[in-house]
Structure 1
Amino acid sequence: MLIKGTFVHTPRLGDLEILEDYLLAVGNDGFITHFRPVGSPESIELLRDHAAETTTVLTGSFLLPTFCDLHLHAPQFLYQGTGLDLPLMQWLDEYALKAEERLDADKILAKRVYERLARRLLQNGTGTVMLFGTIKEETNLILAEAMQSAGVRAFVGKLSMDISSRPTYVEASAEASLSSAKSFVDQCRHMMEQVPLHLRRIEPVLTPRFVPTCSDELLGSLGDLSCLESLRVQSHLAEAHDQVEWVRSVRGAEDIDIFDRYNLLNPRTVQAHCTFLKKPDLSRMVAAGSSIAHCPLSNVYFSTEPFPLREALSLHIKVGLGTDIAGGYSIDIMNAMRHAVTVSRIRESSAQAKHEKDTDDSQDTGTTYKTLAIDWKESLYLATRGGAEALTLPAKSGTFEVGSFFDAQLIQLVDPVSRSGVGALDFFDLETNGDGDVKLNQDMLEKWWCIGDTRNRVGMWVQGVKVL
């Protein structure tokens, strides 16, 4: 497959590249094999030999890497957009656990919810997702099948929890929970063995829900299993005030200490939220090689602290974005990007005011102030390349470079016939090149980032397979 047109990506934090008139080639395995300007000798040769296989991106449109969602509770999609009126620990009892129990008891409902979830993810540009499931193996296999069938690359986690505030929704013991986790891993892997290698989209993930629902025995066993079989791990870390205080009072430690003690902080780990981590804790995340799923919208609802995003990025922690359905109400990673910028600007305004006061009080602190805000281009990196790195996808994933997955979404900003903006977009000063084609610029991309929606997304590919 050859695609000719305009490509946009963020290969480095803060760097956005608009690559016009490029040619991209995709191999049968879904990896990019060529990416050069159309006028290069190699591109000219490819176009000559494979003209019939070439797709041209129309003027006013561009290709962008698909989004990565690092944290989403699949069964909670059942009540997305409702039930955000309680603190975290009460919310879990009142809404989350009930929904998860309901899907575990109703296979038909689970299939309907998960198939719709997969479709919504693709409509919103998400090609890769890390999912929390439920405690029942069969329900999580339904989830895995729904994602595989839709073409979504999904890391699926069967919940492990031998402690629960809901007596009807808990695993019988640490031993039973571990056995179920092992069984799910085996069944999930067996399912993928039936699929051609380049079309395998599903990988199992060990998923201790969080410290309050897991005994020390269970956490230790899961840590051993992760190391023994090189399995990914996902959980929640330092998320909310009531959760942090519960762990301190009941377990007598910080939850980062407990995860670390049981080898659940490792390079295969993605921890969600992390809003209460201080700088020494962030340094521990760096040393462990673990990643963080930043979920700005749900943090507003459930945490009294914003995540220290700029500090984490400055320490080179691998950070991506998560929607945290249903703790966050929007499945759209574009909204997660917007909220990430908004929260960072609030942090910046507060820090700037404090810096100015401290400077006034001391006349001269002798320090250089550094911004805590991020901009839209940095958030786009987090949603694409940053998310791919946090999930330890193959090198260069999340970009248009030779050797990376061809994971792409086709975004249309301008109708090629009417030359008017698509969806919510309006452009009054369109620039064209010598051929009369619309010339994209950063202002147009920023407008799409701010107010674009699903009407602008007209195609999706995951590892070379068209899924939308």
Structure 2
Amino acid sequence: MQWLDQYAFKAEERIDSDPGLARRVYEKLARRLKEYGTGSVLLFGTIKEETNLILADVMQRAGIRAFVGKLSMDISSRKTYVEDSAQSSLQSARSFTKRLRSMQTELKPAQRLVEPVLTPRFVPTCSDELLAGLGEMSEVLDVRVQSHLAEARDQVDWVQRERGISDIDVFDKHKLLTPRTIQAHCTFLSRPCLSHLHTRETGIAHCPLSNSYFSSKAFPLHEALHEGVKVGLGTDIAGGYSADIMNAMRSAVMVSRIREGERRERRLEIGKGEEGEQDVSINWKEALYLATHGGANTLGLPEGAGSFQVGAPFDAQLINLYNGTTGAGLGPLDFFDPPSEEQPITEEMLEKWWCIGDTRNRSGLWVQGRQCFPTPTP
């Protein structure tokens, strides 16, 4: 809450007060996302309806598939940055949802890239009345939900102290854990809680970099996947030092390896392991899955999205590892045995790109079959 009050709330309030600034900020964001290869994004916006419509318009024009969330928050915020009441917050969320959907009806189905998302910021800033109303709205209007869940010790303790139950139970009580829901972080969830999310078909946005800054626990990724929970990879953009999903992939592997190291050390200290214990680390291929097909499944994209198969939306990046004429590696990549017809691209070369590749290796991005980066010449 200290970070939110000192930085996030102030920035959001400023954007809400200046439509011109909002458009400039969001246009730069769109350019950065495409540069980083992000063609689909789930976004927390601000509390003002008009500002979020600007965000949606910018993403649509940029060719990015975006799920835009107008924040809902009626308590425990800055006096100048909070909605007047639960009812006014619900009215604004409903209006935003309908207005954004009406913007899309003017487009052909294949061109509709932007959708609204109901976004209670997190339990501490939302009254029970507001959460109950959003749960009903999600069901009636068939609209997605996103929020933050069990992210940090102070937040978890605050909810328990104020509501008398955990925040996962608060969301569940108000029908906000559904197949349409994605919860970010979830670092303080127990194994039974993860199993409950699987039962509810609720997805998780795993943001390893921001968790390293804001949570005293690491997300139990291996356990979540073992329980069958849908997990996609996120950057949390403002919650770390990078909006590049490649850094999120690398961070996910590093965090998981630290967890595995701690598990092994505990086993050595007590002289044995727990029954049925498994390696909790992931490898680079699994991280790549979380950033692509795993994210598509979590977002509920059309069947096959995030993979190459007939009938699936063509969402793809063009990655170049080396100059086809000279054989020299591109960007940070160096190859001393250049690929050739006799020696094609190897798995080791792909892993090298995963480890140290950057924006210089990305020469194209397509979303739903249309190239959006670099911007095609008319």
Q: TM-score, normalised by structure 1?
A: 0.78
Displacement of 1:368 after TM fit? 4.7
User: What is the alpha-carbon distance in structure 2 between the residues aligned to residue 216 and residue 409 of structure 1?
Assistant: 43
SS at match of 1:467: strand
Cα distance in 2 between the residues matched to 1:258 and 1:457: 43
Deviation at 1:248, TM superposition (A): 1.1
Aligned residue number for residue 385 of structure 1: 293
Give the equivalent residue in structure 2 for 1:203.
115
Give yes or no for the alignment of 1:267 onto 2:175: no
Residue matched to 1:374? 282
Q: How big is each residue's C-alpha offset from its partner over 1:3-40, in whole Å with a ceiling of 9 and x where there is no partner?
A: xxxxxxxxxxxxxxxxxxxxxxxxxxxxxxxxxxxxxx
3-state SS of paired residue (1:286): helix
Correspondence for 1:148 among 50, 56, 60: 60
Instruction: Give distance in 2, aligned partners of 1:243 and 1:442.
Output: 43
In the other structure, the counterpart of 1:225 is: 137
**DSSP-derived class of the 2:237 partner:** coil
Q: Distance in 2 between the 1:366 and 1:337 partners?
A: 29
Question: What residue number does 2:204 align with?
Answer: 292
Q: How does 1:125-204 map to 2 (within 5 A)?
A: 125-204=37-116
Distance 2:139 2:240 in 1: 32
* Higher RCO (Cα < 8 Å, 6 or more apart): 1
Deviation at 1:357, TM superposition (A): 2.7
Q: How does 1:42-441 map to 2 (within 5 A)?
A: 89-359=1-271, 367-434=275-342, 439-441=344-346
Q: 1:386: how far off?
A: 0.2
TM-score normalised by L of structure 2:
0.97
Aligned-partner Cα distance in 2 for 1:165–1:269: 24
Q: Distance in 1 between matches of 2:166 and 2:356?
A: 40
Residue 433 of structure 1: how far off its partner (Å):
2.5
SS at match of 1:326: helix
C-alpha distance 366-259 of structure 1, shift in aligned 2 (>3 A): closer
Give distance in 2, aligned partners of 1:366 and 1:383.
31
Code of the residue aligned with 2:294 in structure 1: it is G
Separation in 2, partners of 1:428, 1:369: 41
Q: CA RMSD in A?
A: 1.1
SS of alignment partner, residue 239 of structure 2: coil
- Deviations along 1:362-416, one digit per CA (max 9) or x if unpaired, are xxx6835410100000000000000000011111110001121100100000111
1:445 is the counterpart of 2:350: yes
SS of equivalent residue, structure 1 residue 429:
coil
Q: Which amino acid aligns with 1:187?
A: R
Q: Distance in 1 between matches of 2:369 and 2:292?
A: 17
Q: Is the 8 A contact 2:151 2:215 kept in 1?
A: yes
Contact 2:328 2:338 in 1 (8 A): no
Deviations along 1:417-448, one digit per CA (max 9) or x if unpaired, are: 111000000011234224xxx61111001110
Take 1:390 and 1:368, find their aligned partners in 2: how far apart are those partners? 28
Matched to 1:281, the amino acid is C
Rounded to whole Å, the distance in 2 between the matches of 1:247 and 1:324 is: 22
Computing the radius of gyration over CA atoms, which structure comes out larger, 1 or 2? 1
Query: Residues 234 and 248 of structure 2 are in contact (CA less than 8 Å); yes or no, is this contact kept in structure 1?
Result: yes
Greater strand content: 1
Asked if 1:460 is matched to 2:368, the reply is no
- Sequence identity percentage: 61
Aligned length: 373
Q: In structure 1, the residue corresponding to 2:67 is in which secondary structure?
A: strand
Structure 1 counterpart SS, 2:271: helix
The whole-number CA distance in structure 1 between the counterparts of 2:82 and 2:276 is: 52
Partner of 1:156, secondary structure, is: strand
CA distance in 2, matches of 1:460, 1:292: 25
- Distance in 2 (CA, whole Å) between partners of 1:114 and 1:431 is 40
Aligned equivalents of 2:304 and 2:106: distance in 1? 28
Query: How far apart are residue 316 of structure 1 and its match?
Result: 1.2
> Structure 1 runs of 4+ off > 3 angstroms?
365-369
Instruction: Supply the distance in 2 between the matched residues of 1:104 and 1:371 (Cα, whole angstroms).
Output: 46
SS of the residue corresponding to residue 401 of structure 1 reads coil
Task: Tell me by how many angstroms 1:353 deviates.
Answer: 1.2
